[in-house]
Amino acid sequence: MRNDVSHILFSEEDIANRIMVLGDAITRDYADKADDGIVLVTVLRGGAIFMADLARAIRLPVEIDFMAVSSYGSGMKSSGVVRILKDLSSSIEGKHVIVVEDIIDSGLTLSYLLKNLSARNPASIEVAALLRKKTESQSDVRSIYTGFECPDEFIVGYGLDYQERYRNLPYIAVLSSEHNE
């Protein structure tokens, strides 16, 4: 698989160090809210690896929950149509929700998800994104916990995929152009 990437953007060590920083910030910011309940919500499948590591870096009791949302299909561009394939297992009403996102790309899916979750009356809702792409057409989505800004290239690894492959790479890399056409 290493031959399928053109170059590594963020190493395994870079990612681990940045997640510790994010976990420390969340621990500090939510220390007085833990009794109300903190729920980490991620969208399967891409965000699962990041959420597992981030949950371990937060030194407070947290619940975790998952959604499956479709907007990409098997292509490389968002379709603009968002469908919930798997909803949350528990209520988030009155709880502090942190949406754990692998990458903010167009922001369309995340915007939809935030609106949907806000309608369920959480005490608060914020976003923790491992990556934020630098794109001009990105939706205005606020992420107060952001790991890295990345170029507007097709990236894989650490949960991010191309046609369901490369999620298990321990780093984040740009996919070679001959593999993403």
Q: Catalytic amino acids?
A: 105
Fill in the DSSP letter of residue 81: -
Question: In which region does residue 35 sit, left (phi positive, over 0), alpha (psi from -120 to 50) or beta (all else)?
Answer: alpha
Among 81, 97, 83, 91, smallest CA distance to 38 is for 97
Which distant-in-sequence residues (6+ apart) come within 8 Å of 168 by Cβ? Answer: none
Among 90, 92, 88, 87, smallest CA distance to 37 is for 92
